[in-house]
């Protein structure tokens, strides 16, 4: 019961305070993007840790998607394991050369990266403002959904 209550309070605090840092603040539409029928859902097969994970859409397994495909919208679903003892989690998604990056709210479809090529490497990083247990690793299990358009 206490765990459930703590989880609910944490969810409320995250939704109220959100992502206040403006260095990567997302300024596009969130939640009102109409997805295309072309959706790719990628679940990272292992627990994500050490603050980073990568999705490589340049690999041959993605050759069935035309090279002209462009990103229409992306959605990142991430869950921090609450028992890790953290506060103030932040997650950002970057393109392959880190020239474009956005804070990614959990489970919200956004038009971030719209118009960029589908066939690229995406890098995701997470960090927290405070750890309750110094030296303890933090873990996250991400899933990336990419909607692409064929121009």
Confidence of residue 119 (pLDDT cuts 50, 70, 90): very high
Quick one: which of 108, 114, 21, 133 has its CA closest to 69? 114
Higher pLDDT, 37 or 53: 53
Residue percentage of the chain with pLDDT more than 90: 7
Q: What are the E-state strand segments in the chain? A: 39-43, 48-49, 52-56, 70-80, 86-94, 101-103, 121-131, 139-149
State the average pLDDT over residues 120-149: 77
pLDDT by residue (tens digit) across 15-48? 333 332 223 333 344 444 555 566 666 655 444 5
Domain boundaries, the chain: 2-149
DSSP code at position 110: B
Q: How far apart are CA 123 and CA 101, in angstroms?
A: 9
Q: Is 2 helix (H, G, I), strand (E, B) or coil?
A: helix
The CATH fold of domain 2-149: Jelly Rolls (2.60.120)
pLDDT by residue (tens digit) across 99-117? 888 888 888 888 889 999 9
């Amino acid at each position: 019961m206490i765990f459930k209550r703590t989880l609910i309070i944490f969810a409320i605090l995250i939704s109220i305070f959100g992502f206040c840092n403006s260095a990567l603040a997302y300024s596009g539409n969130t939640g009102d993007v109409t997805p295309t029928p072309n959706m790719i859902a990628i679940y990272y097969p292992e627990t994500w840790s050490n603050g980073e994970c990568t999705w490589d859409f340049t690999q041959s397994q993605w050759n069935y998607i035309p090279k002209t495909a462009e990103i229409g919208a992306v959605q990142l679903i991430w869950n921090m394991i609450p028992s890790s003892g953290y506060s103030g989690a932040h997650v950002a998604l970057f393109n392959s050369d880190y020239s474009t990056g956005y804070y990614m709210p959990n489970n919200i479809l956004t038009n971030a990266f719209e118009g960029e090529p589908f066939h690229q490497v995406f890098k995701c990083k997470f960090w927290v403002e405070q750890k309750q247990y110094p030296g303890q690793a933090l873990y996250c299990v991400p899933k990336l959904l990419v909607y692409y358009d064929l121009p």
